Chains A and B, each alone.
Chain A
Amino acid sequence: MSSHTATALLHAFRARLVPLSDNLIAAAFPLMKIFPAAFCVARARQDGLISARSTIVESSSGTMALGLAMVAHWSGYPLVIVSDQACDQVLARRMQDLGARVEIVDGPAPVGGLQRARLDRVREICAQGEEYWWVNQYDNTSNPAAYAAFAAQLAGECGRIDCLVGTVGSGGSMCGTADYLAALFPDLHVIGVDTFGSVLFGQPDRPRQLRGLGNSLLPRNLDHTRFDEVHWVSVQEAYTATRRLHQITSLFCGGTSGAAWMVARHWAEQHPGKRVVCLFPDDGHRYVHSVYDDKEMHAHGHWLPELPAAPREVRDPRDAADAWSSIRWGRRSYAEVVEEPCRLTATAMG
């Protein structure tokens, strides 16, 4: 496929910017991760990390895997995706249809769980020869760097932006977009949305039901000092909010979009006159049989009769539990917040 066709295809995956209220704009992506996937591959080619005979390898059970499958297919690279049981059949079938090899690991590693088992398998594959190249979305700086085109789209279509809200998994989309936008708007208020049991912002690691955000490991691409606020959201809140988002706006989005929307809507209401942009990273097709299925929602106890009106504010990330919680992160480092939680500085309170 020619590079022009690939560029045109990529263009078709740009976010739609949808005004949801006077001061809240949704950036709804069909599949956001296609941008870091394409950018990581393009940079690797320019830096000589991959050649015509390379095979691309990545560990993912979500949309990064699908994004890479599309990009690898366009550019003619073989692709191996290492995943686990969380990888749903529809996703696996789509990737295989695009020519990717999908490997499912047997079970969790004794230490480090499924994520460790997947990474071990990636290392095994890459040890087979120089032609294997691991994308490594968690540590590859091309992941956050990929969001310039999106930041440009926001600045060009919205002008001034006061607040950016989005979920955090690898740190790529939020840190990358915030970094580019902050060049223009240094006072940009950045809100990261995480889930309980994710270590990203200082919660103790435990199994999580909500996928597509959060992490059991700390990725290098997560720059904690970018964030003014952090919110933790439960699976029930995220899914119910995703349905509410659909019912109110007709935007058909993935299960983490509701989490971002719930947080963004609250902040926008509290700050009239400030312009808020909220990231919705994928569309709802993968979730037809979960989030958008009433029987499934009730069977798993995911349906909430009422969404909380506001978060419970905590001072220590370890106090966040059960229901929507928030902390004034205050652009501090991980160590400042998690290792010295009592030393709340004046800037953090501002």
Chain B
Amino acid sequence: MQPTTFDYQNGHGACRIGRGWCAGHHGELFQGAVAGEHGMRRCLMTLPCDNFQSSVSFFPDSSGELRVDPPHKAKSRRAVQYSLDALGFPHLGGVIVVRSNIKESKGYGSSTADCVAAALAVADALRVKFTDEELARLVVDAEQASDNVMFSDAVLFAHREGVVLDDYATPVPRLDLVAIDCEPDRLIDTLDSAPAPYSWKDLQYFEVLITALRRAVRTHDLPLLGQVATASADLNQHVLPKPGYADMRRLARERGALGVAVAHSGTVMSVLLDPADPAVEHKIELLQLDAMRLGLPSTRLRTRGAHAHRRIA
């Protein structure tokens, strides 16, 4: 017999309707790899962005079955199942409602945000809390490769293992961006893209970039951050070329921007600007005009600052 209602107060333990929320991102400030004891470890640091978010509600019941709405959010369903397993309630069922304004298959980290929000909703329903590290592992298990949106501080994140390689102990500095979709008609499935075949020489360059990245984040050195993002994009362009990159690089230079950040599992690229630049509004207008001339859609955005980027609603 399928139960149609669920007694949240007196039902199974201390269950309640759980809610979770997580922001998306706007591509990578850094993407590369470091040498590890057992081969290379791929890692990244995303450009967190509050304009995009996913919120998940979890209505637990004793059906033993998990249903998700919309039905294609299979990764969210998996994240809920793994969370329930991890918390010792593998047989609990329920309805998972995912509501997100993050475009899918563009490189904005929609599925990671969904998964993080889903895991947080489960934790909320069971009145427990995951640590950032537990959350990272769960989400990587659920979607195989994830990004670092679950962390409030900037981290260098091994996205295929769910491990933090370096914690910068401060959020990514605030940046203004003009996000341009270089292939508006194309969708990319993260799992379809093979891991980048970096050489040992690429790893040498990444070593330089990672030390510069740490300095840039810790000292809020925006020009250096822009140089790291551009250098990272340059190196990845050699390995996995993306259409439109040369144009973005040229626009960034011509308009006096800080640099370019590329969404490696998508089609968007962001021109980075200093919010404290007196000419920033003008530069944004010009860049949006430039994008229009290239026939590409653009959006102006601001990265997340020091405030919370995810919460249990």
**Chain A-chain B contacts (Cβ-Cβ < 8 Å), number:** 53
Stretch among A164-172, A181-189, A265-273 lining the B interface: A181-189
Decide: A183 near B208, CB < 8 A? Known: A155-B215, A156-B214, A156-B215.
Answer: yes
Decide: A152 near B207, CB < 8 A? Known: A183-B231, A183-B235, A184-B212.
Answer: yes
Asked if A310 is at the interface (CB within 8 A of a chain B CB), the reply is: no
Name the residue of chain A whose CB is nearest to the CB of B206: A148
Asked if B205 is at the interface (CB within 8 A of a chain A CB), the reply is: yes
Contact residues of A between 135 and 165, Cβ < 8 Å to B: 145, 148-149, 151-153, 155-157, 159-160
A184 touches which of B200, B219, B231 (Cβ 8 Å): B231
State the interface size on chain A (CB cutoff 8 A).
Answer: 18
In the assembled complex, how far is the CB of residue B18 from the closest CB belonging to chain A, in whole angstroms? 43
Asked if A132 is at the interface (CB within 8 A of a chain B CB), the reply is: no
Whole-angstrom CA separation of A181 from B215 in the bound complex = 15
Asked if B267 is at the interface (CB within 8 A of a chain A CB), the reply is: no
State the interface size on chain B (CB cutoff 8 A).
Answer: 22
Whole-angstrom CA separation of A308 from B227 in the bound complex = 37
B224 pairs with A160, CB closer than 8 A: yes
A148 pairs with B223, CB closer than 8 A: no
Asked if A252 is at the interface (CB within 8 A of a chain B CB), the reply is: no
Asked if B204 is at the interface (CB within 8 A of a chain A CB), the reply is: yes
Asked if B234 is at the interface (CB within 8 A of a chain A CB), the reply is: yes
| Chain A interface SS verdict (over half) | helix
B204 pairs with A180, CB closer than 8 A: yes
In the assembled complex, how far is the CB of residue B241 from the closest CB belonging to chain A, in whole angstroms? 17
In the assembled complex, how far is the CB of residue A8 from the closest CB belonging to chain B, in whole angstroms? 16
Most chain B CB atoms below 10 A, which of A46, A153, A159, A181:
A159
Complex contacts, A160 vs chain B, CB 8 Å: 221, 223-224, 227
Name the residue of chain A whose CB is nearest to the CB of B203: A148
B204 pairs with A153, CB closer than 8 A: no
Name the residue of chain B whose CB is nearest to the CB of A147: B204
Most chain A CB atoms below 10 A, which of B201, B208, B209, B227:
B208
B205 touches which of A157, A183, A185 (Cβ 8 Å): A183
Decide: A152 near B210, CB < 8 A? Known: A145-B201, A180-B204, A183-B235.
Answer: yes
Given A159-B224, A160-B221, A180-B208, 19 more contacts at CB 8 Å? A46-B200, A151-B208, A152-B208, A152-B210, A153-B211, A155-B211, A155-B215, A156-B215, A157-B215, A159-B215, A159-B216, A160-B223, A160-B227, A183-B205, A183-B208, A183-B231, A183-B234, A183-B235, A184-B224
Q: Using CB atoms and an 8 Å cutoff, list the residues of chain A in contact with chain B.
A: 43, 46, 145, 148-149, 151-153, 155-157, 159-160, 180-181, 183-185
Can you list 17 residue pairs at the A/B interface with Cβ under 8 Å?
A46-B200, A148-B208, A151-B208, A152-B210, A152-B212, A156-B212, A156-B214, A156-B215, A159-B219, A159-B224, A160-B223, A180-B204, A183-B205, A183-B234, A183-B235, A184-B209, A184-B227
Nearest 7 Cβ contacts at the A-B interface: A156-B211, A148-B204, A155-B212, A152-B211, A152-B208, A151-B208, A183-B231
